Amino acid sequence: MKSVALILDPEFGQRVESVAREMPVWVLASRSNDPAIEHARSLFGGHDITSFFPPRTGDRKATSAQALYDIDEHHGELSSSHPYEELLIFGAAPADVSPEAMEELGLEPAGARKDAFVLRKRDGADYTTR
């Protein structure tokens, strides 16, 4: 199963490296995360480590929605022969994630890990328009 990590914690820091060892990572840009992102990119040749800035509103749901759409655009069925099937979201609670984006992208809650919660693509879910 192909997984992608979304890190919304601005203080995630050096933990980026351990997550990037397992899967592609999208990381919220911040003073704490930026050096860790650059370090992880140097270790892994820059592959599959993407940083992003939150929208100007600073709203966590808007930030999550933007990231979900971007991840789906880059790792979904329209752009990958092996599209992602689940997202692991670090540094946020399920209530921080846009329910509208989840619905539109065919994502549903699928449990939690010690440090993240999981969203999984519904069978047959296909993002075609936004």
- pLDDT tens string 29-66: 999 999 999 999 999 887 799 999 988 877 889 999 99
Q: Which amino acid is at 32?
A: S
State the average pLDDT over residues 8-23. 95
Q: What angle do CA 46, 32, 23 make, to 5 degrees?
A: 40
Question: Is residue 84 within 8 Å of 3, Cβ to Cβ?
Answer: yes
For residue 21, with 0-12 CB atoms within 10 Å meaning exposed, 13-18 middle and 19 or more buried, which class applies?
exposed
Name the pTM for this structure.
0.90
Dump pLDDT digits (tens) for 67-107.
999 999 999 988 888 899 999 999 999 999 999 999 999 99
**pLDDT beyond 50 at 130:** no
